Amino acid sequence: MRHLPYFCHGQVVRGFGRGSKQLGIPTANFPEQVVDYLPTDVSTGIYYGWPSVGSGDVHNMVVSIGWNPYYKNTKKSMETHIMHTFKEDFYGEILNVAIVGYLRPEKNFDSLESLISAIQGDIEEAKKRLDLPEHLKLKEDNFFQVPKSKVMNGH
């Protein structure tokens, strides 16, 4: 993606039900319309950046954009793993994301264990890169300043 950072938001929808259950790595999923409106130069792969839910705090994230070859998806998806433990699900809330960098292309894996290992490596690498000054400043971007009248479910 040539134009990073890239900012987008959308309502959190139910995904494939694999993130938490099979992988132990919960994800927040955007509806198809958000994925369809990504810039045409977006390469599939793993990115990192900053998300917030509603007017809540800004956290670290990794986000997968693509077809998830291990699962042979037929629709392109955008699945965000927020590096924070939430007390409850937040389906229907607005997820705001700032994609600030690219980690790697998406690829297929021989086993579920190797997929999980790769995701865990992506998470660790994202944490390191998000500590860089050029990325830290985006955590405070006005994009994340939601008026308090728009607070949803306390997030």
Task: With beta carbons less than 8 A apart as the criterion, state whether 44 and 67 touch.
Answer: yes
Task: With beta carbons less than 8 A apart as the criterion, state whether 103 and 48 touch.
Answer: yes
What's the order of all strands across the beta sheet hosting 28-29?
Answer: 6-11, 94-104, 45-53, 61-66, 77-82, 28-29
Q: Is residue 125 annotated as part of the catalytic site, yes or no?
A: no
**CA 8/CA 144 separation, integer angstroms:** 11
Of 79, 88, 106, 124, the active-site residue reads 79
Catalytically active residues, by annotation: 79
